[in-house]
C-alpha cells in the first residue's frame, strides 16, 4: 500500500481509492476529480493527488503516441478571428438547466423515455449537492463530447428539485385552486403535448416526506411525482 503524507488509516485510504476509481470513469478534469474526492472524504487534496498518481501514473512525454500529440495540437485554441463553434444540442439544454439550478443532467434520446447511460451509484447519483456543484461543469463537458446530438433530462434529489409529470394539467390546476383558494404557483414547466405538463419545484420537508408517487388516475386526475432518484425531461 502506498505511504502517504499525511498518512491515512487503511479503511479511509481504501475508500478514497474506490472513489478515485469511480470518479475516473465520469470526470475528465483531474483537478475537479481531486477536489471532489477530497471534499467527499475530508482528505487533503495533496493526499488525494498522490493516490491518484499511484493509481493512474502519468506517461512521460516521449511515450505518448504520435497520433495523440497530433490530436492534442489540433485541439489548441484557434485564431481569435475564427467564429466561435456552435454549441451542441445537449450542451445548450444542459446549460439552461444549470442556469435554473438543476445541474444533475443526463443524456437521453430525443423523444426517449429513459437516460442513454447507466447512472445509479455513479458520482452524479451519490455526490452531495455541494460536491456535485464542483463536478457538474466537467460532467457537462464530457456529455458534450460523447452525446452532442442527444436531449437532456434532470434527476430529482431530496435537497434539490421534485417533478410532477401531469397528464391532466388543466383539471389538476383547477382542482388545486378550488381546494386551496390560491392561484396555482408559477414554476418552470415544459410541455410537448396539450394538457400534459412537466413541472419543476424546489423540494420542501413535505415533498421529502411524500417520496415518489407512481402514476395514478383518480377523479379525472392523472399524474406521477418524481421526488427522489427519478429523471424528468
Tens-level pLDDT at each residue, the chain (233 residues): 555 556 789 999 998 998 888 887 767 678 878 877 887 788 888 998 999 999 998 866 555 455 545 455 555 555 545 556 688 999 999 999 998 999 999 999 988 889 999 999 999 999 999 999 989 999 999 999 999 999 999 999 999 999 999 999 999 999 999 999 999 999 999 998 999 999 999 999 999 999 999 999 999 999 999 999 999 98
Strands (E), the chain: 105-108, 151-155, 161-166, 188-193, 196-202, 213-218, 221-226, 231-232
Domain around 18 = 10-57
Q: Is residue 207 part of a domain?
A: yes
pTM of the shown model: 0.70
Cross-strand partners of 218? 221
Q: Is residue 138 part of a domain?
A: yes
Residue pair 13/51 in contact by the 8 Å Cβ criterion: yes
DSSP 201: E
Residue pair 26/123 in contact by the 8 Å Cβ criterion: yes
Q: What span, in angstroms and rounded, lies between the C-alpha atoms of 233 and 229?
A: 13
Q: Is residue 65 part of a domain?
A: no
Domain termination site, one of 110, 139, 155: 155
SS3 30: helix
Number of domains in the chain: 3
Residues 86, 90, 91, 95, CA torsion sign? positive
Q: Do 212 and 167 sit in the same domain of this protein?
A: yes
Q: What span, in angstroms and rounded, lies between the C-alpha atoms of 226 and 212?
A: 5
Domain termination site, one of 155, 170, 185: 155
Amino acid at each position: 500500500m502506498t505511504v502517504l503524507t499525511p498518512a491515512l488509516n487503511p479503511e479511509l485510504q481504501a475508500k478514497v481509492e474506490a472513489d478515485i476509481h469511480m470518479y475516473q470513469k465520469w470526470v475528465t478534469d483531474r483537478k475537479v476529480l481531486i477536489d471532489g474526492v477530497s471534499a467527499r472524504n475530508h482528505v487533503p487534496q495533496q493526499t488525494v493527488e498522490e493516490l491518484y498518481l499511484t493509481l493512474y501514473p502519468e506517461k512521460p512525454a516521449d511515450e505518448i503516441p504520435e497520433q495523440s500529440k497530433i490530436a492534442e495540437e489540433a485541439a489548441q485554441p484557434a485564431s481569435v478571428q475564427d467564429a466561435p463553434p456552435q454549441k451542441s444540442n445537449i450542451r445548450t439544454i444542459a446549460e439552461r438547466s444549470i442556469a435554473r439550478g438543476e445541474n444533475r443532467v443526463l443524456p437521453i434520446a430525443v423523444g426517449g423515455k429513459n437516460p442513454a447511460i447507466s447512472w445509479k451509484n455513479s458520482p452524479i447519483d451519490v455526490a452531495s449537492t455541494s460536491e456535485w456543484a464542483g463536478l457538474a461543469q466537467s460532467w457537462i463537458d464530457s456529455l458534450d463530447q460523447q452525446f452532442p446530438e442527444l436531449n437532456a433530462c434532470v434527476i430529482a434529489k431530496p435537497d434539490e428539485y421534485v417533478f410532477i409529470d401531469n397528464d391532466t394539467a388543466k383539471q389538476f390546476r383547477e382542482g388545486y385552486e378550488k381546494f386551496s383558494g390560491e392561484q396555482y404557483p408559477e414554476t418552470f414547466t415544459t410541455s410537448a403535448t396539450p394538457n400534459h405538463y412537466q413541472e419543476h419545484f424546489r423540494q420542501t420537508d413535505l415533498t421529502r416526506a411524500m417520496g415518489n408517487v407512481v402514476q395514478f388516475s383518480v377523479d379525472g386526475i392523472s399524474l406521477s411525482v418524481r421526488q427522489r432518484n427519478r429523471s424528468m425531461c
